[in-house]
Amino acid sequence: MASYFTTLHKPQMMMLQIVCRKKEKGRDQNYPYKVIEITPPPRNLGVRCFPSNLQCGDGVTIEGQNYTISAVTHRYQLRKGKYEPSEKRLDVLSTGRYILNLYLENLLEQS
């Protein structure tokens, strides 16, 4: 009779910190954003550094591909009685898909 023993280890919480450098003093600082392409199926594009003043409809280029921002989400977590930023997320669509969605929404409104 063979028996197998497994040991359970506590998962180690590894905090990765992304550091974005400033381009110049006095200019907007770049912040790390988690980027998700929301075209089904959703695809994680990683953590990227962008300026803090991004808005819906702005265009960004990631690894040579053009994307349009569909949503900007800032999440906060309550810690020790204060809300602290926990995550910044960009939901993006490829530029072609974004334009197609606008066209289809316009057709729907007209009908």
Please tell me which of 5-9, 26-30, 88-92 the model is most confident about, judged by mean pLDDT: 88-92
Q: Strands, DSSP E only, in the chain?
A: 30-37, 43-51, 59-62, 65-79, 82-94
In a domain, 96, yes or no: yes
35: closest CA among 61, 10, 64, 57? 61
More confident residue, 7 or 100: 100
What is the pTM assigned to this prediction? 0.69
In a domain, 20, yes or no: no
In a domain, 13, yes or no: no
Q: Where are the alpha helices (DSSP H) in 1-111?
A: 95-110
- At 39, list the tokens: 């075209």
In a domain, 24, yes or no: no
- At 44, list the tokens: 């994680």
More confident residue, 35 or 31: 35
Count of domains for the chain: 1
